[in-house]
Amino acid sequence: MTRSLDSLTSWHADWSGLRVFVVGLGVSGFAVADTLWELGAVVHVASDRPSPDHEAMLDVLGVEHVITDSPESCEASAAEFAPDIVIVSPGISPRHRILDWAARSDIPVWSDIELAWRVRDKITAAPWIVITGTNGKTTTTQLTAHFLRSAGLRAIECGNIGVPVLDAVRNPEGFDYLVVELSSFQLHWLPSSGAGALHPYSATCLNVAEDHVDWHGSADAYRQAKASVYTNTQVACVYSTVDHITETMVEDADVQEGCRAIGFGFMVPGPSGFGTIEGILVDRAFVENRHESAQELTTIDRLAELGMAQPHMILNILAAAALARSTGISPEAVSRGIDSFVVDHHRCEVVAEAGGVTWVDDSKATNAHAANASLRAFPSIVWIVGGLFKGTQIDEIVQAHASRLRGVVIIGEDRAEPIRALTAHAPHVPWKQISGGDVMTQAVAAARDFARDGDTVLLAPAAASMDQFVDYADRGRKFASAVAESIAEQS
């Protein structure tokens, strides 16, 4: 290939004949292959997991693909194909040998997000609002897009949330804004400068807690990936005044001239912040006289009526409001959006109330930081915990909430971690571990035995789900089903 990759910064550039080796055939990997095929590139896809539906679609397109049985065979396939670039799916380990091969062969490595940024102008080069964080990023992404739509704008939530960014940029009707959720994996692969570097319109890192250390190699590497979300931001870097690490990230970020730092938190906000004043959520950043006035967005009482007054949800709303208001939409549009927003399933979702006991599904709480937010929301709890802990420990949250735990039900394969933490920090709290089949039916039965009038049975596992379930949604659905069956048996 004689052309420079730096020239490939538009859908309308000449991509024909570019040889691209794509690693991974999940949702994002297929979107990459489909996009490159449409651009006229020569594509070869390698995956270590069969994906019959995607493979069938690649056959229709005439795109070569192979299921590799080892990293060595993936490398051999790449060497035989002789690509100009390698594009990796988000979950591919940074220690995968294909990356060593690419480095030795002087072949650039891109991600699906970099490709999407380069070809974002197919219809309209919509600005990107970029969101990350250990927890809350999906809800905040949904809220931000919803607020923009409440103002009459065309906005779509995409990225790690489920819709590939490449699908969004190829939508034939185009959008005014893309609200892009990025995981630490996706951020890891992005360059900070050059033709493929993102320049977000506005960006936020909501919070940072230890997570995915097994993938990144260290907690510091994980934090650095999260911090990179602010690089090159144009209008507003939104940070949490509750999590001071994110403020430091903004202070250290290399941003565009004129970009503002906007804080959000529970306290009375300063002149460039979002916060609360006597039970009212307010904006003091995007108002005319921000040194002397504040704009009301909603009240905590109204959020309670909507089932959204949990502390973590208030923070999500404030962050989303800051991002949305940075585009110039009215505060009334944000208020309308709050009133009409519906929280997704498996996020502190009440699935049943019976016999004085409330059953809550927060299966999306896949790490200790998220579980801590859930546990804070209820006064007396039977906690269902466990799964794949990925090397993290839960001492701090057990210690913080021990006085409010009626009992603990332990699921998952890594049961040793919660047993250790409970023994060390909550020896008075009874617990039961679940093993064998029909895990959730057993867990719900055990929780029912612990629960008393006024208690909340909370599924907030603080761990990943793939040891016993397809994903967190499958875990949540099976919890809700087991609860319904249990209540029916008691009726």
Identify the band that residue 3 occupies on the pLDDT scale cut at 50, 70 and 90: low
Identify the band that residue 315 occupies on the pLDDT scale cut at 50, 70 and 90: very high
Q: Domains in the chain: how many in total?
A: 3
Sheet strand arrangement including 381-385 = 349-354, 357-361, 456-459, 381-385, 405-410, 431-433
What is the per-residue burial (b if ≥16 Cβ within 10 Å, else e) of 446-455? bbbebbeeeb
The backbone torsions φ and ψ at residue 357, rounded to the nearest 5 degrees and listed phi first, read: -115, 135
Identify the band that residue 77 occupies on the pLDDT scale cut at 50, 70 and 90: very high
57 and 94 co-located in one domain: yes
Tell whether 3 is covered by a domain. Answer: no
Tell whether 7 is covered by a domain. Answer: no
- Round to whole Å and give the CA distance between 394 and 404: 16
Give Cα 67 distance to the centre of its chain: 28
User: Where do the DSSP E strands lie in 294-373?
Assistant: 295-299, 349-354, 357-361
Identify the band that residue 50 occupies on the pLDDT scale cut at 50, 70 and 90: confident
Nearest alpha-carbon partner for 422 in 402, 447, 448, 449: 402
pLDDT at 23 over 70: yes
> What percent of the chain has a predicted confidence (pLDDT) above 70?
98
Q: Which residues, listed in sequence order, are joined to residue 282 by a DSSP beta bridge?
A: 275, 296
102 and 122 co-located in one domain: no
98 and 212 co-located in one domain: no
Q: Say how many C-beta atoms besides its own lie within 10 A of residue 316's C-beta.
A: 27
Cα atoms in the Cβ-side hemisphere of radius 13 Å centred on 316 = 29
What sign has the CA pseudo-torsion 461, 381, 446, 313? negative
> Tens digit of pLDDT for each residue in 279-307?
999 999 999 888 888 999 999 999 999 98
When comparing pLDDT for 310 and 264, which is higher?
Answer: 264
392 and 452 co-located in one domain: yes
Residue 98 near residue 87, CB atoms below 8 Å: no
pLDDT number for residue 178: 98
191 and 293 co-located in one domain: yes
pLDDT number for residue 212: 66
Tell whether 6 is covered by a domain. Answer: no
pLDDT number for residue 411: 96
pLDDT at 1 over 60: no
Written as one letter, the residue type at 441 is T
167 and 254 co-located in one domain: yes
Distances in whole angstroms, Cα of residue 202 to Cα of each of 111, 170, 473: 21, 22, 30
- Comparing 6-10, 214-218, 477-481, the range with the smallest average pLDDT is 214-218
Using DSSP's 3-state secondary structure scheme, residue 259 falls into coil
CATH for 91: 3.40.50.720
When comparing pLDDT for 344 and 145, which is higher?
Answer: 145
148 and 78 co-located in one domain: no
Identify the band that residue 134 occupies on the pLDDT scale cut at 50, 70 and 90: confident
CATH for 197: 3.40.1190.10
> Tens digit of pLDDT for each residue in 251-276?
999 999 999 999 999 999 999 999 99
Residue finishing a domain among 303, 319, 340 = 340
366 and 267 co-located in one domain: no
Tell whether 404 is covered by a domain. Answer: yes
Using DSSP's 3-state secondary structure scheme, residue 248 falls into helix
pLDDT number for residue 175: 97
Residue finishing a domain among 84, 107, 130 = 107
Nearest alpha-carbon partner for 384 in 434, 341, 346, 428: 434
> What percent of the chain has a predicted confidence (pLDDT) above 90?
78
Tell whether 64 is covered by a domain. Answer: yes
Q: Say how many C-beta atoms besides its own lie within 10 A of residue 428's C-beta.
A: 8
- Round to whole Å and give the CA distance between 45 and 131: 29
284 and 142 co-located in one domain: yes
pLDDT at 413 over 90: no
Nearest alpha-carbon partner for 397 in 423, 377, 371: 371
Written as one letter, the residue type at 490 is Q
Using DSSP's 3-state secondary structure scheme, residue 136 falls into coil
Average pLDDT, integer, range 244-251: 96
The conformational region for residue 386 under phi > 0 = left, psi -120 to 50 = alpha, else beta, is left
Identify the band that residue 219 occupies on the pLDDT scale cut at 50, 70 and 90: confident
Average pLDDT, integer, range 105-113: 95
Identify the band that residue 385 occupies on the pLDDT scale cut at 50, 70 and 90: very high
Average pLDDT, integer, range 93-114: 93
- Round to whole Å and give the CA distance between 155 and 146: 8
Tell whether 8 is covered by a domain. Answer: no
Tell whether 258 is covered by a domain. Answer: yes
pLDDT number for residue 210: 66
Distances in whole angstroms, Cα of residue 206 to Cα of each of 144, 210, 318, 342: 13, 14, 10, 20
Identify the band that residue 437 occupies on the pLDDT scale cut at 50, 70 and 90: confident
Nearest alpha-carbon partner for 185 in 103, 95, 92: 92
Identify the band that residue 327 occupies on the pLDDT scale cut at 50, 70 and 90: very high
pLDDT at 455 over 80: yes
Average pLDDT, integer, range 167-196: 94
- Comparing 74-78, 356-360, 434-438, the range with the smallest average pLDDT is 434-438
Residues in the chain: 491
Tell whether 423 is covered by a domain. Answer: yes
147 and 210 co-located in one domain: yes
335 and 356 co-located in one domain: no
Distances in whole angstroms, Cα of residue 115 to Cα of each of 64, 128, 421: 20, 14, 44
CATH for 423: 3.90.190.20
Residue finishing a domain among 292, 317, 340 = 340
Identify the domain containing residue 222 by its residue range.
Answer: 115-340
> Tens digit of pLDDT for each residue in 26-45?
999 999 999 999 999 999 99
| Helices then strands, each counted (H, E), the chain | 19, 20
Using DSSP's 3-state secondary structure scheme, residue 217 falls into coil
Identify the band that residue 436 occupies on the pLDDT scale cut at 50, 70 and 90: confident
369 and 282 co-located in one domain: no
- Round to whole Å and give the CA distance between 23 and 87: 6
